[in-house]
Amino acid sequence: MNETKNTESVHGHEVMQMMIASGKTWTRESLIEAIHQKFGATACFYTCSCDNMTAAELMDFLEARGKFVPRGDGFTTDESLVCNH
């Protein structure tokens, strides 16, 4: 069961905070699956400069902006990479 509504618009910071809280190393596939489980498969995502993104589009956006830190065979993120506005 999803923790939030499928129609919710979710800020990218919430995804990054989920990643940090888990302490896991992610792959593209595992992160998309976790996003869908937590926020719903039809949730839309937004950031400070872009909106109406799918989970995959959000991942592309965050990766392009250097928000993912390589770790082993995957990646993670860091609190210092989450903007505070």
Q: 83, 48 in Cβ contact below 8 A?
A: yes
Residue identified by tokens 């923790």 is: 3
Query: Which element (helix H / strand E) includes 30?
Result: helix 28-39
Supply the mean pLDDT for the chain: 90
| 40-72 residue pLDDT tens | 999 999 998 999 999 999 999 999 999 999 999
pTM of the model: 0.85
Query: Domains of the chain by range and CATH?
Result: 9-80 (1.10.10)
Closest CA to 81 of 5, 44, 64, 27: 64
Contacts of 49 (CB under 8 A, 6+ apart): none
